[in-house]
Each structure stands twice: as C-alpha cells, then as structure tokens.
Amino acid sequence: MQKKWIGARVVTLGCRLNHHESEVMKEIANEIGIGDVVIINTCCVTSEAERQSRQMIRKAKKENPSSVIIVTGCAAELNYDKFCAMPEVDLVIRNREKADKKIFTSKIKEIKEAGCSCGHEQGKERDRDAKDRTRFFLKIQDGCDNNCSYCIVPSVRGRSRSVPICDIIECSRSLARNGALEIVLTGVDITSYRDTESLGAGGLCDVVKSIVKEVPAIQRIRISSIDPAGVDDELSRVICQEEKIMPHLHLSLQSGDNVVLRRMLRRHSRELVLDLCEKIRSMRPGFAFGADVITGFPTEDEDMFRNTVELIEMCRINSLHVFPFSPRPGTLAAGMNQVSPKIAKERAANLRSVGENLMKEYMQSQIDSIAKVLIEDGRLGYCEHFVKVETNSQVKRNTIVDVKISGFRDNCMIGNVV
C-alpha cells in the first residue's frame, strides 16, 4: 500500500488574497509531501494584525509541538528577522517565494537536512481536497501603486502586477473541474488589473467576460474588496448586466469624511461613493454593499466620524469590517497627530452597531423573498448578496437551491427550501 503524507495545515490571517495564496501553498505542500507541517500565513495591515500573527505562531507550536512551523505572509516579509528569531519558527518564506514550488521544495529539503521532523504516516489523508470547498479564491493581481498614508502593504507586496488572462482562464477551468460553482476574484487592488500580454491591455471587465464565456461551469463570480475610485462606467455596466456576477460589492471605503480621505491619500470622495451606490442600484435594484472602515485615523474628530456614519447609512452599507486605527512604522500616518486608541475603539464599536442595525433592516426586507443559496455545510450557505442563510432541511454540499426567507436571527436569515 502506498504511504500518504499528512496534509499541511494552513492558518490564514488577513485578506482574501492571503486565503487564495494559502490554498496554493497547501496544494504545493501536499503535492511534494512535506509531512507534518503548519504554515502560518501572516498579516501586517495593522499592528494588531501582526501581534495576532505572532500569537498564532506560538499557539500553533503549543498545540502541535512535533510539527514544523513555517511562517510567511506580509508580517513575515515586513519583519523577516524578527520572525526568523522566534523560537517556535522553523522556516520563514518570503511573499515572492510562497507560491513557487521549486523554492518551497528546496527550502523544505533544507529543514529536513537540518533535522526537523517532517515525517509521514500511513493512511492519513490531506487536510481538505479542493472538492470539499464551495467558494474558491482566484488571485488575478498583486501589489499596489497607490501608497495610502496608513498602509504598509505596498512595501511588502510591491508594485501592481497582473496575472495574464490566459492563466486565469486555465485556473478557472481547473477549479470548475474540481466542482467549483463560485469563484472570488481577488488581489490587492484588482481595479488596477491590466493584462499587458493581451492586445489592448485587458482590464477587470475583460477578466469577467472571459471567465463567463470560456468557463460556463462557473455559475457565480464575486469581486473581492474593491477601490471605489477604480469602478468606472464600463465596470459598473458589467457588474450590473452580467447575471453571474453576484449583486454584492465590498468597498475599500476607509472613511466617509473628505478631509480624512485626503489625509489618507485615498482617490475617492464621499460624493463619489454615494454616486456609485446610487448608480449601481439604479441599474440593478437590491444590490448590496459591504465596506472596510478605519476609525480614529489621525486628526479624525467627532464631526468627521459622524460623516462616516452618515455616509454608511445613506448608502445602506450593511456589512462592515471595522478597524480601529493602528499606526504602522514607516507610513506617513504614523507621524500624524494620533487619536486616542480608546476613542478609536469606541468609535469602532459604535460603527459596528450601526452596521448590525443596517443588516437587520436588510434581512427584514428580504422576508418572503426567494434567495438563491450556495450550500456550504448541510443547512447553511450564502445567498447572492453574501448574507448567511440557514435552511429548514439538509441539502447536499456545493448545491445552489432556492430558499424562501421566513425570518432571521443574529446575522443569519432563515428560510425553507422550495
């Protein structure tokens, strides 16, 4: 009987791009049979995220004392030497190396030769096969050229670069063969996508159109966090006219006050965001929005914070990821007049409460409607607007079913399969 390696376990912190890269690393690790390994894919978007990354490394080693601990991701890129020095860490792999099979193989060989335990056991399967997942992250772009005043990401991800459309199509076909019904197009700044290898340097619209045309088995396409300033008229039309694109966008909003946005060096204004939401809803009624928001950015006062709350309520943004500002050394914002961390946390809590109320209003509005739900686990799945739905009966995993919404609790709608 052929021996089977223990599948690598991957712990992911941070953005959807990290989640995509984690899946790639896990597939590589299991293919080359690296054994009993835990890979921690770190995040450095805030100081708190980096602290959580270190905490997760210590926890992983405590819970898996015999495992090899491999660390990668943005926090490890930013503070490479510090992560190398952690006693729990056996290997640190840089961002540019983590999806490279040859580099992965050579580095694993090095730690094996150094005496680390990367053994294998018979009869143990890989962590999870691709066929066990329902939502697949597809990286189409990496890096960023915008240099927002609070953001360290360009320093650890580099300048914007795009995956050729031909490679995206090939990957989409592979995902479809593994049973994928829904994919999420992800990157650091996907509106900057430009396929320089294609005639006319195709953009994000061309990516979507190509997947729809070339990979009909993909039934649902989601667009991950997006810069409002990058959504032009053409992209708006594609989002609204192409039925396979789910009616939900997550905006990289950060603030609803124009003064704060200028100090953040963002490219959009509150007026642009309001116009964008109204324009898209006029073409595709019922469209839903989520947003990333930072509270307590340097110099933000109560009036500026209220402007953010007001914009979110006007745009009916019902899914919020709220972060109290955390200064990153090396960014412009770190040298600005700081808001008290206590105030930043209080504003974050207030804003989350606003988001919860908007979500309740949305779910109330959906009662008696029919939602198309992609089942992820028995009775649970997500509808087109990316709201969790619990059904009245067990449904086969990775199946899209019609559910009549009858109520809700917490942040989950409840309904009957019809």
Task: Decide if 350 is inside a domain.
Answer: no
Contact between 41 and 33 (Cβ < 8 Å): no
What is the model's pLDDT at position 155? 83
Task: Decide if 39 is inside a domain.
Answer: yes
Count of structural domains, the chain: 2
C-alpha to C-alpha distance for 291 and 84, rounded to whole angstroms: 34
Report H helices in 197-292.
204-214, 233-241, 258-264, 270-283
pLDDT at 39 over 70: yes
Question: Each residue of 170-185: pLDDT tens digit?
Answer: 989 989 988 899 999 9
From 50, 81, 113, the end of a domain falls on 113
What is the model's pLDDT at position 91? 85
Task: Decide if 49 is inside a domain.
Answer: yes
Q: What is the CATH number of the domain that holds 53?
A: 3.40.50.12160
Strands 380-382 and 388-391: antiparallel
Task: Decide if 405 is inside a domain.
Answer: yes
From 113, 134, 160, the end of a domain falls on 113
Question: Each residue of 224-275: pLDDT tens digit?
Answer: 889 999 999 999 999 999 999 999 999 999 999 999 999 999 999 999 999 9
How close are the terminal C-alpha atoms of the chain, in Å?
46
Task: Decide if 47 is inside a domain.
Answer: yes
Q: Share the mean pLDDT of the chain.
A: 87
Question: Each residue of 338-368: pLDDT tens digit?
Answer: 999 999 999 999 999 999 999 999 999 999 9
Strands 400-409 and 370-377: antiparallel
Task: Decide if 167 is inside a domain.
Answer: no
Per-residue confidence band for 1, with pLDDT thresholds at 50, 70 and 90 = very low
Provide the residue range defining the domain that includes 402. Answer: 370-417
Question: Each residue of 291-305: pLDDT tens digit?
Answer: 999 999 999 999 999
pTM, full prediction: 0.77
From 94, 113, 132, the end of a domain falls on 113
- Determine the average pLDDT of the residues in 158-166: 90
Buried b / exposed e over 34-50, threshold 16 CB at 10 Å, is bbbbbbbbbbbbbbebb
Task: Decide if 23 is inside a domain.
Answer: yes
pLDDT at 325 over 80: yes
Per-residue confidence band for 111, with pLDDT thresholds at 50, 70 and 90 = low
Task: Decide if 282 is inside a domain.
Answer: no
